[in-house]
Amino acid sequence: MLERSIKFIHAAAQALALMLARPSGRQVAALCLRDGKVGKDVLLVSSLQSDRWIIPKGWPIAGKDFPNAALAEAWEEAGVRTGRVQNDKIGQYTYMKTNKNGTEFTCLVEVFAVQVEDLAEEFPESARRRRQWVTQSRAVTLVREPTLKKIIGAI
């Protein structure tokens, strides 16, 4: 009995150490692109709570791999009706997410490039978000997360 208790405590301690050592949330994001007049244009959307400029992102979706979940986020948040998503992530970044109750936790966001072919005027979050196409260099200045700036700058 004592040996089982010790094993349980050890396993629980290992699980807690793993949770504290890595981000507690994992999300997927779509870096939506099109060919612009001087290089790539990036589609940014406004965040729902702080109204800052971000790229479409969200939680993984059951039944979809990460690239296709990112494409689904591009539809819901930015109205990307059709686009080609790359299967390999182009980078990842972390940010602090605030829950509705005010607690914060770290999210790890895996970013997938989406070549946008068509945008819809109305989409699931069109009444709640603004969107804008900007040059790659302007996108770097508008987003807040330092690692996301680097990802956008490297495309």
Please, what is the Cα angle at 57 between 54 and 60, to 5 degrees?
165
DSSP bridge pairs for 106: 96
Per-10-residue mean pLDDT, the chain, length 155: 62 45 76 95 93 95 96 98 96 90 92 98 96 97 96 96
What is the per-residue pLDDT for 101? 87
Q: What is the pLDDT of residue 70?
A: 98
At the fourth CATH level, the homologous superfamily of domain 23-153 is Nucleoside Triphosphate Pyrophosphohydrolase (3.90.79.10)
At residue 6, the pLDDT reads 65
> What local confidence, expressed as pLDDT, does residue 1 receive?
64
Q: What is the spatial distance between Cα 124 and Cα 103, in angstroms, rounded to a whole number?
A: 27
Nearest to 139 by CA among 155, 121, 153: 153
The whole-angstrom separation of Cα 78 and Cα 55 is 9
- The model carries a pTM of 0.82
Which residue type does 13 have? A
Q: What is the pLDDT of residue 22?
A: 42
Q: Do 96 and 105 meet the contact criterion of CB atoms below 8 Å apart?
A: yes
Backbone φ and ψ for 102, nearest 5 degrees, come out as 95, -10
